[in-house]
């Protein structure tokens, strides 16, 4: 019995030794697995970092190459189109329309020219404005002049054509007055001036530019230029007509109108079937005071063609 127990004791001791060895091996296996996992994770992070760095360097190089290539092509495009603009090259029109480079530079040239033209126009307008203001009298520099102007046109009157109104001594002027003027319709206008009884009434003192045109339609005499024998008619005094236009100024302080301008021409009465068409035009400057009046007279009022585009007169303030 004692020998059996003694025999079993080494076996139990062996089992305990084996159990202790297995426990030590288990304790050593756990740290080895964690260390391996850490190394794997670290290697993966390093590989990912290297891959990102390599990718960044690659794409950066590609982008730099593309940018350099685009820059070279843009400069080349501008140089080629500059040469084209100067006339060094002359490609076909089809190539111009289909070439994006040419289209871009064409638009660029257009914008540059438009900007420069606008700038020059603005500078020129400013210079002209300063020049005009500098030419004004010292009393009104810096103050815009009031708009004083009138343009009246002839209208067909419902009454009979004008006739002579007595002798020159009783009327104080030559010719027959034209009263059928229109100042509100068509091409006519009145700006700080009035139209009363065929007369323009001045509202502001100053130097005025005055103009007038009258249009005449002389009826035909019904005769031909050549008689039955083929001989020319001799020009007689009664075959001639004197067309005269007068511009008068009437002042409130003076009873007799003052003749400002006169225009005349001698014409022959038309023969045949067609009437004769003639016009008289004159213009000039004069100094006018407030309440002065302007009116027109002609020598043959009954033959006047009162067309607003042919018979008119007006005045405007110039300084």
Least Cα distance to 211 among 155, 281, 299 occurs for: 281
pLDDT in tens, 215-234: 999 888 766 655 534 444 45
Q: Which class is domain 146-317?
A: mainly beta
pLDDT digits (tens, 9 = 90+) for 57-81: 998 888 888 877 766 655 556 555 5
The pLDDT of residue 108: 79
Segments making up each domain of the chain, as ranges: 93-134, 146-317
**Cβ-count burial of 247 within 10 angstroms (0-12 exposed, 13-18 middle, 19+ buried)?**
buried
Q: Does residue 35 or residue 152 have the better pLDDT?
A: 152
pLDDT at 74: 56
Longest distance between any two alpha carbons in the chain, whole Å: 193
Alpha-helix residue ranges (DSSP H) falling in the chain: 2-86, 93-98, 100-134, 168-171
Q: Is 101 annotated as a binding residue?
A: no
Asked whether residue 111 carries a pLDDT value surpassing 70, the answer given is yes
pLDDT of residue 200 exceeding 90: yes
Query: Which among 75-84, 111-120, 187-196, 216-225 has the top mean pLDDT?
Result: 187-196
With a cut of 60, say whether residue 298 has pLDDT above it: yes
């Amino acid at each position: 019995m004692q020998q059996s127990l003694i025999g079993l004791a080494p076996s139990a001791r062996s089992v305990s030794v084996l159990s202790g060895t297995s426990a030590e091996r288990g304790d050593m296996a756990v740290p080895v697995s964690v260390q391996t996992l850490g190394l794997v994770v670290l290697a993966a992070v390093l590989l990912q970092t290297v891959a990102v760095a390599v990718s960044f360097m690659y794409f950066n190089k590609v982008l730099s190459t593309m940018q350099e290539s685009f820059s070279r092509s843009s400069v080349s495009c501008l140089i080629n189109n500059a040469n084209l603009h100067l006339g060094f090259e002359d490609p076909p029109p089809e190539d111009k329309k289909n070439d994006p480079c040419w289209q871009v530079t064409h638009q660029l040239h257009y914008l540059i020219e438009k900007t420069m033209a606008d700038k020059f126009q603005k500078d020129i307008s400013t210079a002209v404005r300063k020049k005009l203001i500098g030419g004004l009298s010292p009393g009104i520099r810096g103050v815009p002049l009031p708009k004083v102007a009138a343009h009246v046109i002839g209208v067909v009157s419902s009454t009979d054509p004008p006739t002579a109104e007595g002798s020159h001594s009783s009327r104080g002027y030559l010719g027959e007055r034209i009263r059928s003027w229109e100042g509100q319709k068509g091409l006519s206008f009145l700006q700080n001036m009035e139209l009363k009884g065929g007369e323009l009434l001045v509202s502001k003192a100053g130097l005025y530019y005055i103009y007038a045109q009258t249009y005449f339609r002389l009826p035909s005499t019904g005769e031909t230029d050549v008689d039955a024998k083929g001989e020319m008619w001799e020009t007689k005094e009664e075959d001639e007509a004197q067309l005269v236009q007068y511009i008068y100024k009437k002042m409130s302080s003076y009873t007799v109108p003052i003749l400002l301008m006169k225009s005349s021409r001698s014409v022959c009465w038309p023969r045949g079937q067609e009437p004769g068409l003639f016009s008289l035009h004159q213009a000039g400057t004069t100094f006018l005071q407030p309440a002065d009046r302007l009116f027109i007279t002609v020598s043959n009022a009954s033959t006047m063609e009162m067309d607003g585009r042919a018979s008119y007169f007006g005045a405007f303030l110039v300084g």
